[in-house]
């Protein structure tokens, strides 16, 4: 082989290597099948807890333990989230300085729409959660954004969830490669082990629902977001979905991401989608 | 005389060995920089551990107090934690599917 042939051979080999190692898109859209995922996800939980009705799963740990269920029923007589609900209703109807309200930012004036969030924004190519939509509404109307982990956001989402109680989750993943990628990335986040304790979300909420971690009974992943936001006795207050995700991360000794980072938006999208058809039960109360 | 000489040699050797083992400020700085670099890489993988940051803080505290032995040891521990978090993030890129409900 002369020098020229050698150079040509090397160039061809290099080109082939480039093709072989060229970074593929993060997610191959043709392999993403949310419908099959939802079916398998539900089957797993229905088989694991054959005595529960599908709608029971939205009650989290209360559906897993008879004594806790009894306590919860008593608690619901005077629900601990009531103060938040009242605050949320007041905030929701109070006009911004420009005279507009939250209702002006949402379909149906924001009433009875919780079950449609997170949604995929085709213009932006990203997942939009209800918390994010609320803050964008504020900012669009000249108001500062609320903290995603504090009481104001919990109160607003509590009220919006309450107006959707009993309505089945209706999350859509359009046939758009970006939406499918967001969904798949959310799934990957859910199953990925992280933190020094080497836990994934699934370690607690797929492998161990009904089991105890210290004094807490772990909730099943199916229906877990239907009850958000929640009053937690452990927190002595209300918690948003963002608060739940970030504290889960720190509990396993992982540094939490920033609330509403893509990973959190995507995992909420995934978890909500696989709970499609189960009723909204938020605001919820948990031990 | 012979015993005194041997004792002196042993003492000198021991002193030499101790000074060889003792970490100085430069050792600490190198260990801390390596730990910080590894933790930065973990951040780029979106997988830092809280314990890495707290161990780095311990290292800095020892260094501020002039205890470079303990400071260096803590910095090395922090680097090991950061490297473990990098390994976790890298291996989980494929391994997460083992847990997936199908």
pLDDT tens-place string over residues B39-92: 999 999 999 999 999 999 999 999 999 999 999 999 999 999 999 999 999 999
Tell me: pLDDT of A19 over 70.
Answer: no
Closest CA to A127 of A278, A250, A271, A247: A271
Predicted pLDDT at A21: 41
What DSSP element (H or E) covers A230?
strand A230-232
Judged by CB atoms closer than 8 Å, whether chains meet at B102 and A40 is answered as yes
Residues of A in contact with B81 (CB under 8 A): 196
Sketch the domain layout of chain B as residue ranges.
Answer: 23-99
Confidence of residue A158 (pLDDT cuts 50, 70, 90): very high
ipTM of model: 0.85
Measured between CA atoms, how close is B1 to chain A, in angstroms?
A: 58
Higher pLDDT, residue A78 or A193:
A193
Give A216's DSSP letter: E
Judged by CB atoms closer than 8 Å, whether chains meet at A255 and B48 is answered as yes
Predicted pLDDT at B30: 98
Measured between CA atoms, how close is A101 to chain B, in angstroms?
A: 37
Interface of B with A in 21-80 (CB under 8 A): 43, 46-51, 53
Residues of B in contact with A191 (CB under 8 A): 96-97, 99-100
Task: Give residues with Cβ within 8 angstroms of A96, minimum separation 6.
Answer: A138, A141, A142, A143
Predicted pLDDT at B33: 98
Residue A126 is encoded by which pair of tokens? 């990203």
Which among B50, B81, B96 has the least Cβ separation from residue A192?
A: B96
Contact A65, A217 (CB under 8 A): yes
Per-residue pLDDT tens over the stretch A165-207: 999 999 999 999 999 999 999 999 999 999 999 999 999 999 9
Which of A249, A254, A263, A273 is most worth mutating to test chain B (most B CB atoms within 10 A of its CB)? A254
Tell me: pLDDT of A151 over 90.
Answer: yes
Confidence of residue A68 (pLDDT cuts 50, 70, 90): confident
Which residue does chain A place closest to B93, by CA atoms? A192
Distance CA B7, CA A32 (A): 76
Domains and CATH numbers, chain A: 25-73+80-286 (1.10.760.10)
Which of A46, A193, A199, A266 is most worth mutating to test chain B (most B CB atoms within 10 A of its CB)? A193
- Rounded to 5°, the CA angle A102-A108-A112 comes to 90
Give helix then strand counts, H and E, for chain A: 10, 7
Q: Sign (positive/negative) of CA torsion B4, B10, B16, B21? A: negative
Measured between CA atoms, how close is A240 to chain B, in angstroms?
A: 22
Of the listed ranges A12-21, A28-37, B23-32, B34-43, the least confidently predicted one is A12-21
Predicted pLDDT at A69: 87
Is residue A204 part of the annotated active site? The answer reads: no
Per-residue pLDDT tens over the stretch A98-137: 999 999 999 999 999 999 999 999 999 999 999 999 999 9
Confidence of residue B2 (pLDDT cuts 50, 70, 90): low
Judged by CB atoms closer than 8 Å, whether chains meet at B101 and A40 is answered as yes
Interface of A with B in 148-187 (CB under 8 A): 187
Per-residue pLDDT tens over the stretch A247-268: 999 999 999 999 999 999 999 9
Higher pLDDT, residue B23 or A163:
A163
Which among B49, B92, B101 has the least Cβ separation from residue A41?
A: B101
Predicted pLDDT at A287: 79
User: DSSP string covering A101-159, please?
Assistant: -GGGGSGGGGTT-GGG-SEEETTTTEEE-HHHHHHHHHHHTT-PPPPTTSHHHHHHHHH
Measured between CA atoms, how close is B44 to chain A, in angstroms?
A: 12
Measured between CA atoms, how close is B81 to chain A, in angstroms?
A: 8
- Rounded to 5°, the CA angle A85-A59-A272 comes to 85
Of the listed ranges A71-85, A215-229, B4-18, the least confidently predicted one is B4-18
Which among B50, B95, B96 has the least Cβ separation from residue A254?
A: B50
Predicted pLDDT at B55: 98
Mean pLDDT of all residues in chain A?
A: 90
Judged by CB atoms closer than 8 Å, whether chains meet at B51 and A196 is answered as yes
């Amino acid at each position: 082989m002369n020098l020229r042939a050698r150079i040509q051979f090397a160039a061809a080999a290099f080109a082939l290597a480039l093709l072989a190692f060229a970074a593929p898109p993060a997610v191959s859209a043709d392999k993403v099948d949310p419908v099959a995922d939802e079916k398998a996800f539900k089957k797993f939980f229905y088989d694991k807890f054959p005595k529960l009705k599908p709608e029971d799963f939205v009650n989290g740990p209360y559906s897993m333990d008879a004594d806790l269920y009894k306590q919860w029923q008593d608690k619901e007589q005077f629900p601990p989230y009531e103060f938040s609900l009242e605050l949320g209703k007041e905030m929701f109807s109070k006009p911004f300085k420009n005279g507009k309200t939250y209702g002006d930012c949402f379909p149906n004036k924001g009433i009875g729409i919780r079950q449609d969030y997170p949604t995929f924004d085709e213009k932006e190519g990203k997942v939009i959660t209800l918390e994010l939509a609320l803050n964008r509404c504020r900012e669009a109307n000249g108001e500062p954004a609320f903290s995603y982990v504090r009481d104001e956001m919990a109160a607003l989402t509590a009220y919006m969830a309450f107006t959707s109680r009993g309505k089945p989750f209706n999350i859509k993943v359009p046939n758009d490669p970006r939406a499918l990628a967001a969904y798949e990335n959310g799934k990957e986040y859910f199953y990925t082990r992280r933190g020094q304790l080497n836990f994934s979300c699934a370690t607690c909420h797929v492998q161990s629902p009904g089991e105890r971690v210290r004094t807490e009974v772990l909730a099943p992943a199916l229906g877990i977001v239907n009850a958000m936001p929640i009053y937690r006795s452990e927190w002595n207050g209300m918690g948003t979905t963002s608060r739940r995700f970030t504290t889960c991360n720190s509990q396993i000794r992982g540094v939490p991401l920033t609330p509403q980072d893509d990973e959190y938006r995507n995992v909420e999208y995934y978890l909500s989608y696989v709970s499609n058809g189960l009723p909204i039960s938020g605001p919820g109360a948990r031990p | 005389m012979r015993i005194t000489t041997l004792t002196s040699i042993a003492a000198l050797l021991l002193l030499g060995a101790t000074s060889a083992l003792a970490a100085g400020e430069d050792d600490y700085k190198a260990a801390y920089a390596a730990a910080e670099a590894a933790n930065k890489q973990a951040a780029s993988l979106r997988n830092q551990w809280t314990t890495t940051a707290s161990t780095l803080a311990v290292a800095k505290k020892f260094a501020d107090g002039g205890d470079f032995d303990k400071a260096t040891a803590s910095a090395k521990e922090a680097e090991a934690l950061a490297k473990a978090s990098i390994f976790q993030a890298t291996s989980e890129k494929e391994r997460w599917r083992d847990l997936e409900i199908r």
